[in-house]
Structures are given as structure tokens and as C-alpha cells.
Amino acid sequence: MGSGLLYPMDIEPILAEALAGANISAADGVTLLQQRDPEALAAIRQTADALRLRQVGETVTYVVNRNINFTNICEQHCNFCAFRRDAEAEGSYWLDFAPILEKAAEAAAVGATEICMQGGLNPAAQIDGSSLRYYLKLAETIKGCYPSLHLHAFSPQEVQFIARQDGLSYRDVLLALRDGGVDSLPGTAAEVLDDAVRRVLCPEKINSATWLEIVGQAHNIGLPTTSTILSGHIETPVQQIAHLEKLRQLQRQSIEAGRKAAITEFIVLPFVGQEAPGPLRRRVGRDQPVLADALLLMAVARIYLGNWIVNHQPSWVKLGLAGATEALTWGCNDIGGTLMEEHITTMAGAQGGTCMTVDELRGAIASLNRPDRQRDTLYGLVPSSGTASGGAVLSGETTVSSTSTGNTAPARQSRSQSLIA
């Protein structure tokens, strides 16, 4: 014990409490993240995997989607971002509505059920002097021609940008986006929900309270969201757990207040620094994520959040498909989407690629001898015809079956999924 490391006997009560169905404390979460002993790490992995099995079953899900980053012109200067450009800078771009529609058409042609759309904060992106009108035109461009495509679009940061540009409330912006065709919001721009960290990473971005406020308001009007953390840079285990605690509290409030929607999934996004601005890259001291650190965080996230947010996803773009596949044994139950293209992380130097085929995702899942199933954005089942069923839920009181293997796995319906069924 002279090394100061904590060993399995020290964490056994914490893991037993989690397996008994309790919400572990923030202090216990920090303790788990501080483990380095191989036996302790193995015990954490096993606990996370057991909770994953109990909460969502054996089936690994994936979504057929397309990612559209419509511009990289951005007024902000986040210290981790290699994507943004000034309007006149080399490499800047801003897609017109016609190529955006072409991308949606290509996605629909291959059976995609989702368009994920986000972009930089471009002050010139207005119609008749209104940012909101521009964003509504983006939504209309896709939904007007492909109404069955689920539009997963515009982060809390983009909502705040629209509200600030047009002098509107967050609620008014969210209502307009919802009524204009947006079906759910990506929970990006969260980075780390700790304002000391944000002052270093993204001093111009919204603060933690504003991110949480916008997501809560989205839930209140029936817009589901995802949730994320940008990990592996300057943040500490204490700050990581504080982030998870804020998400847990928000989800609990959304559910217990009877809001119409909630958080559908949690995604760990490890920092890629290869092309990031120099000061932060030098401070972090490496270019690619440390897989072991990401796996531990995903396991602890399952233990900490699983009672409230049951769907957990790694990022194959950031970790590579092999790393994302390994994460499926550390508490994750979803391998993400096909994407078809990706620019933000790739421009930062990620080596995971920009597109995955369904066969590649299913092959990765099959390597673990786990059944797979295509889902829609809200974790509804997608029948073999490629049309989302909407009402079916992947984890319910019945069983989840795999069309590829015929295996079944019992799974209880989660608090969050009962809201979006």
C-alpha cells in the first residue's frame, strides 16, 4: 500500500452498492476514477459490464445516419478546436442549401434514419436579418423533402447563439426549432461542465449553468437530447465526476418533473490534440487519446449514470473501431452511427476515419459474440425495411432479439427510455 494506490478491497463496497442498484456518491465516483491497479480496473470493468447487461441486455445497437457540418466559419476561438475558421481564411467553407439537400438525399438513398447537423457560429448566417430564420431554413431544406428522416440538430451553444443574435429567449428558439422540424438536440458543447475548465478550453462558450438550462428547457417542450463529455485534457477526476453528477441531476429532474423528454444517451468524446491550437496541445502533451483512460471513464460513467441514462456510446471516430469495440466490454451498449462524413474531429487529427458501413459496425459487434440491432435516434427499433418504428423501444419489459443471431436478452425499461417510447 506504500504506493498510495487503492486496491479492490477498497472499492469492493462501492461496486457492491452499485450492483445493488444504488446511486453511488460523487466521492465514490472519484475513488473509482483514481484506480490504477489492474485488479481494481478489472473489477470496475466487470461491474460496469454487469450493470450494462442488467440495464439494457446483450444487444449492441447502431444507427444508420449522416453527419452534416454545414459550416466551419465560427465567431468563437475554442482552444481545443482545429475545425473553426474565420470567414476569409483558407479552408473555410459554408454550404449552400442545395448541397445540404444532396447530402440528405444520399443518406435517404442508403436507408439512413437520421441526419445529425451542427456547424460553426457564423454571424453572417442569416435570412432577412435573422439567425433563427436561417436555422429554420436548414431544417426545412431537409424535412421538406425527407420528413421521415429524424433531424438531430443544433447544440445548446447554437441555441444560445440564435437567441443572442435575434434577441429571443431560449424557450422561443427551442419552440421554433421544434415546430420547424428539429426532432432532437445533440448534447455537444458540454465539453466539461466545470467553469474553471471551460475558461481554459472554451472561454467564449456558454457556461455550465446555461448548457444545463437549455437542455432542461428542451426536455420541457418535448425535445430529447443526448449528453457528452470531452475528456482527457486538463480536467481532473473530481471535475469529471462533477460533470457526471450534473448530468445525473438534470436527468433525474427531467424525469421526476414529468418533462416530455429526457437524455437518450451518454457519449465519451476523448480529446484529440494532433491539430489542436498549440498552447493546449503542449499543455496536454499528446496528440491522440489514451484508450485505457477513456475505457475507465466509460466504465465509471455506466456505474454512475446507468440508473438514469442507460444508453452509453464510445466514439469510433476518436478511438478507432477497435477501441470502440473494446468499450462495449466496459459498459457501453451502442457503437454509434455510420456518419458517412465527419469533419470536426478529423480536422483535429483523429485517426478513426469518417465513415463506417453497416457491415463494419456489425462485424465489430460480432467479434464479441454479441447480437446487434439497428436503432433509430431515440433507440426505437428499425425493422429490416429500414423504416423506424418509432414506438418500439430497445429495452423494455419484454426481450430484445437480434435478427442476426436469434439470441435474446432480457432488459428492463429504463426511466429515460420510458419517456421517449
Q: Tell the burial category of 116 from Cβ atoms under 10 Å away from its Cβ (0-12, 13-18, 19+).
A: buried
What pLDDT digit, counting tens, does each position of 311-343 carry?
999 999 999 999 999 999 999 999 999 988 654
Q: Which residue has cell 478511438? A: 319
Q: Which residues face 73 on adjacent strands?
A: 85
What pLDDT digit, counting tens, does each position of 257-276 carry?
999 899 999 999 998 866 66
Q: Report how far residue 53's alpha carbon sits from residue 47's, in angstroms, rounded to the nearest whole number.
A: 10
Domain regions of the chain by residue span: 64-356
Contact 314, 327 (CB under 8 A): yes
- For 156-221, the DSSP string reads HHHHHHHHHHHT--HHHHHHHHHHTT--BB---S-S-S-HHHHHHH-TTS--HHHHHHHHHHHHHT
* Residue ranges in 202-290 assigned as alpha helix (H): 208-220, 237-256, 278-284
What is this structure's pTM? 0.88
Q: Tell the burial category of 221 from Cβ atoms under 10 Å away from its Cβ (0-12, 13-18, 19+).
A: middle
**Pair type for strands 372-375 and 60-63:** parallel
| Phi and psi angles of residue 62, each rounded to the nearest 5 degrees, phi first | -150, 160
Domain 64-356 has CATH 3.90.700.10: no
Residue 145 DSSP label: T
* Residue ranges in 25-119 assigned as alpha helix (H): 26-33, 38-56, 97-109
Cβ neighbours of residue 10 under 8 Å, at least 6 residues apart? 31, 40
Q: pLDDT tens digits for the chain (421 residues)? A: 344 455 577 899 999 999 999 999 999 999 999 999 999 999 999 999 999 999 999 999 999 999 999 999 999 988 878 878 999 999 899 999 999 999 999 999 999 999 999 999 999 999 999 999 999 999 999 999 999 999 999 999 999 999 999 999 999 999 999 999 999 999 999 999 999 999 999 999 999 999 999 999 999 999 999 999 999 999 999 999 999 999 999 999 999 999 989 999 999 999 886 666 667 767 766 767 899 999 999 999 999 999 999 999 999 999 999 999 999 999 999 999 998 865 444 454 445 456 899 999 999 999 999 999 999 999 999 987 544 444 333 333 222 333 222 222 333 334 444 433 3
Q: Report how far residue 194's alpha carbon sits from residue 245's, in angstroms, rounded to the nearest whole number.
A: 11
